Chains A and B, each alone.
Chain A
Amino acid sequence: MSAAPLLSVENLDIAMRLPDGGRLPIVKDFSLTLQAGDTLGIVGESGSGKSLLSLAVMGLLPPAAIASGRILLEGRDLMALDDDGMSRVRGRRIGMIFQEPMTALNPAMTVGDQIAEGLVRHEKLSWKAAREAAVDLLDRVRIPDPRARAKAYPHQMSGGQRQRVGIAIAVAMRPALMIADEPTTALDVTVQAEVLEILDDLCAREGMALMLISHDLGVIARMCARTLVLYAGRRMEEGDTRGVLTEPLNPYTRGLLRAVPRRRVDGAPLDTIPGTVPGFARLPEGCVFSDRCGDVVAACRAGEPAWTQPRPNRGVRCIRAQQEMPA
């Protein structure tokens, strides 16, 4: 074994407590490891549990969620930490960028102060020094005239600029891991590219590992060396991004790839995966994708397939994939 990985999630289960006292399992048997500097994309449709995953790593799950398993950061079990302990990890070791730049910033605080705040808390800088550092950070996320803009309030900025402020807040303490949850979904396409480039650049320069959560395969293909496909809270497939995208092992991944809009010469309608993501309360028996899968066989409904590794660095949850691949 080499040194402890940067992040290692082991057998994570997340369930939601229901008002009637029951529990609704959302994420099941989730594991991943991330080395320093790695870039991992987690792709899944809305409602696949991907945001819960990122919140679990941050220790910011909603009160109704119950998590079990282990989340190790630099060898330390985050789930064993109390809130004070976790507050020292958040922001300092793990930074997070959120989806909605319109609502993710405090409307009553200048953006400079919102960036400086983490530095004051974690690095014990004076407000004066931290505000100075904030100007620097705004410059690094390519906000023009950063000294003046540091005194602006979020409503005085565009969506793309606010998301850059979000990035500045997240990178301020040079965390080892950056989690970005749909960082560009709410932005215009032209602005998306710019924000992704800034993020990519900062991660490379600071040697930060990136966990990018998105429903957009294009974004993940561009940003991440490895890709993990999530469906109904289960890992369906994982591997190097090129492998997953060009030689998908799981029928669900194939469906996702077919559904990426592209110019077609035959004029046929866009491919879709039939049906919709089932609610977590109504998952099918056996494989969770069996009710929408084109390759389904009787054995798929007999039991949930196990996670297998048909090749080094490739993982898949599908009995059909095992049958097709030589062991």
Chain B
Amino acid sequence: MTALLLRRSASLFLTLLAVSGLIFLVMQVLPGDPAAIMLGTSASPETLAALRHELGLDQPMLVRYLAWIGGLATGDLGTSTTYGVPVSGLIGERLAVTLPLALMAIGLSIAIALPLGVLSAARRNGPADYIAGFISQLFIAVPGFWVGLLLALVFAVKLGVMPSGGFPGWQTGFWPALQALVLPAIALALPQAGVLTRVTRSSVAEVLGEDFVRTARAKGLPKRAALWRHAVRNALVPVVTILGLQFTFLIAGAVLVENVFNLPGLGRLAYQALTQRDLVVMQDVVMFFAGLVILMNFLVDMSYLLLDPRLREAGR
């Protein structure tokens, strides 16, 4: 078990390193010289060269790469070319919006998908199953940002019970800030909940056919207890796998939804950095996203060990 953890941690580290190399390379081939963009078209070649030297752009690629990941390791992410502030502070500030948003979306998605999927599986081919199937198909078919626009239209513009966008900041109080995140979180969660419901249904339905569920019933457990204690417990591995995969889409979705709702989150920061050719910020934010995804996959892998005792030995 400890050996397994160590091995997985090592592979986590190597993956991060490989990803950082890839991101760095992609940034190199991206058109546009950051120094030229900062100075505008009228700058003289001398000032340009001076700035390039100051930014370290005249150094060989390997040196710049090592400087970058060296900075990552020590927490120095460089300075934004457009904002002129340290990128680490920028990411931290934006994370205070995106992290609660993502957690709310994941929580909401689970809260919808798990009961709906389990209900579907328990009442296979009954009316409840068909209704749940219809709802989940609807969630899957409708794009999240469009749901966001619709939600904003209904709850913010027509009913006026929710803010339509923007973020007051946590310093204005917990509730106003949280309220600003509710509609975006719903918009992010629904498509994910749709997929997760389908996966939960098929996984639970499969386990319900297993012999050990019948054993559980034979010892006198009512349907409900056999369902939750035995079937659902053993159906969670595929569900958690999809949850981990969905995290990637969640981040992609956050870029869109944060723009729709005008939230100062990481997704919006990435979008702005892209449009303004702020390569330092872009490189760091993309690396941060990649790191999150890799970390998430690591956690999913580790959760298998909790969910399925057979893997604790098999993974040795």
Contacts and interface: CB of A to CB of B under 8 A. Distances in A.
Interface of A: 58, 60, 83-84, 87-92, 95-96, 98, 100, 103-109, 114, 117-118, 121-122, 153, 155-156, 166, 169-170, 172-173
Given A60-B217, A90-B218, A155-B309, A121 B225 contact: yes
A231 to B, nearest CB: 25
Contacts of A117: 216, 219, 221, 229
B53 interface: no
B234 interface: yes
Interface stretch (B21-29, B182-190, B206-214, B277-285): B206-214
A122 B222 CA distance: 11
A106 B216 contact: yes
A87 B212 contact: no
Contacts, number: 84
Given A103-B210, A106-B234, A122 B220 contact: yes
A170 to B, nearest CB: 8
A87 B215 contact: no
Contact of B214 (A60, A89, A95): A60
A166 B222 contact: no
Interface residues of B, number: 23
A292 to B, nearest CB: 32
A108 B234 contact: yes
Contacts of B309: 107-108, 153, 155
B215 A169 contact: yes
Given A90-B220, A103-B211, 4 more contacts: A89-B220, A107-B309, A108-B307, A118-B219
B7 interface: no
Nearest to A94: B218
B233 interface: yes
Contacts of A104: 211-212, 214-215
A156 to B, nearest CB: 8
B221 A87 contact: yes
B223 A103 contact: no
B223 A83 contact: yes
B310 interface: yes
Given A83-B223, A108-B233, A108-B307, A103 B217 contact: no
A105 B212 CA distance: 5
Give 5 nearest A-B pairs by CB, closest first: A91-B220, A118-B219, A91-B219, A103-B211, A90-B220
A87 B307 contact: no
